[in-house]
Structure 1
């Protein structure tokens, strides 16, 4: 017997319409600037000057801007450096954060409360850039990739997230693993980490976004331009304009044509180049957010 559909009242339909309209408005407000940048970067450079901030379609399709950006050595090195620094920082950050969080989540850890207070102190009293710079200088990390990689290797906020998550894991699962003969590392690797996939996915995304967007420390610690991440290249391009694209090139070099490309189109392309990796990683991480914390135990 078919069920009778529940009819919505006029107030419920109005509320639904308001919610949908608000969400659509927010989507348009979020996507429109990206479409505007995309349209400017793919437009004919001679038509860019007449485009406003609401344009979402190219004015005369031309891949000239992207061809210049993709082939330019400075941009290529910046992309490679950003990927290396971000991936290394994220992998090390998640690993050390998970290990430290697991230790601090154990109630029998000696000095646990004192260590946790020290973690909270780093949130309230964050070290300044000057002592941070001198520490890196004394350790010989200036002009090396380790300077931006080791910056905030363990983020206190992300550490607290994992500590609270680990504390919610049922002790019965841990005790059962120990009775089966598993050592502490095996318990952590085979039981705790599979259960913590949603939390680990969350802090992985946080670490990735943080290190990908970080440019200030890299700008200070890295004087060697060949080690600049893409964000520093973008910052220098915004400051110097098309000089960054043609500096050090021969007159016969194809990059000398950068001065004929509208600077606004180049900026739009550079901005999109720094945004695309973040947009690409979100779908890969979001699938873990919907999984329950007990999925690992069920699969085991």
Structure 2
């Protein structure tokens, strides 16, 4: 009996790392299939929500839930929402809190991170230790509530911004990036007579657009989606942000004040109004994300191990 031994031919070295080599046809097919599944999982629910918010009363009542096949388009739900002062004012409140809060949070985080990235700065070690300590210990709800009430911030818009204005994680991320900037560049600017604020504004910030944009986006999304602070500190419904409206009306199914005021004829179905509020809450993030997407990949990898 003859035994045939098949020896595997050695693979020719290509000079590329394994993850840089061109994938096989099977690998390409698997990656394409995975991407399609992810897109369907993301866009499928969004399509259903948008279509339900644009559906007529008859369509929603006939389906008995979320609409998958369009059968008549109407903007009655959106007209009712924006004719209601509670929801329209909540959109303005969320927009103002997000813009002001993001500017304050990003500014304070950049200033704090830059000062902590310069060895020998004023109270460098105690301040750095305090920031790192926030990763382990965080004051509870009751002490923060008492502090907000004691400062007279309760039932004001500042109570939606100041208690969560600075994130220790974002400060550490910014600090690690600022420390990676060559010190020779900063020293040359100091020799030319530039102050620390001028160095930060003219040199450091232009070199750190990616990480700054990502941190600002994290702050903006956090303010836009924040509802817990409003539930704790805001008693006046006219000062509610959109996130709290979303929770009260969509999640908890609580009625909104004057929910059907000024509507003639058949009122839009409750489910359509709920989905319209969800769309209004999601659209701003979808609009802003493409502008910072090109910085996102580089920004989120700050501090990663490089090979």
- Tell me the TM-score normalized by structure 1: 0.86
Distance 1:47 1:103, change over 3 A: same
Residue 240 of structure 1: how far off its partner (Å): 6.8
Q: Is this contact kept in 1: 2:49–2:66, CA < 8 A?
A: no
In 1, Cα distance between the equivalents of 2:258 and 2:268?
11
In 2, Cα distance between the equivalents of 1:110 and 1:238?
49
Q: Of 234, 246, 251, which aligns to 2:246? A: 234
Output one character per residue of 1:238-295: Cα deviation in whole Å (capped at 9) or x when no partner: 3674831536x7xxx524768x322111111111111111111101212334779xxx
Which residue of the partner structure matches residue 267 of structure 1? 274
Q: Is this contact kept in 1: 2:55–2:67, CA < 8 A?
A: no
Q: Is this contact kept in 2: 1:38–1:56, CA < 8 A?
A: no
Q: Of 103, 108, 113, which aligns to 1:96? A: 108
Which residue of the partner structure matches residue 44 of structure 2? 32
In 1, Cα distance between the equivalents of 2:42 and 2:199?
43
Which residue of the partner structure matches residue 161 of structure 1? 173
Residue 50 of structure 1: how far off its partner (Å): 3.8
- Tell me the TM-score normalized by structure 2: 0.84
Give the aligned CA root-mean-square deviation in angstroms: 2.4
Look up the SS of the partner of 1:124 in the other structure. Answer: coil
Distance 1:165 1:10, change over 3 A: closer
In 1, Cα distance between the equivalents of 2:235 and 2:125?
41
- The total of aligned residue pairs comes to 279
Gaps of 5+ in 2: 1-20, 300-307
Which residue of the partner structure matches residue 17 of structure 2? none
- In the TM superposition, what are the counterparts of 1:14-163 in structure 2 within 5 Å? 14-51=26-63, 55-163=67-175
Gaps of 5+ in 1: 1-8, 293-300
Q: Is this contact kept in 2: 1:81–1:230, CA < 8 A?
A: yes
Residue 35 of structure 1: how far off its partner (Å): 0.3
Q: Of 190, 206, 215, which aligns to 2:218? A: 206
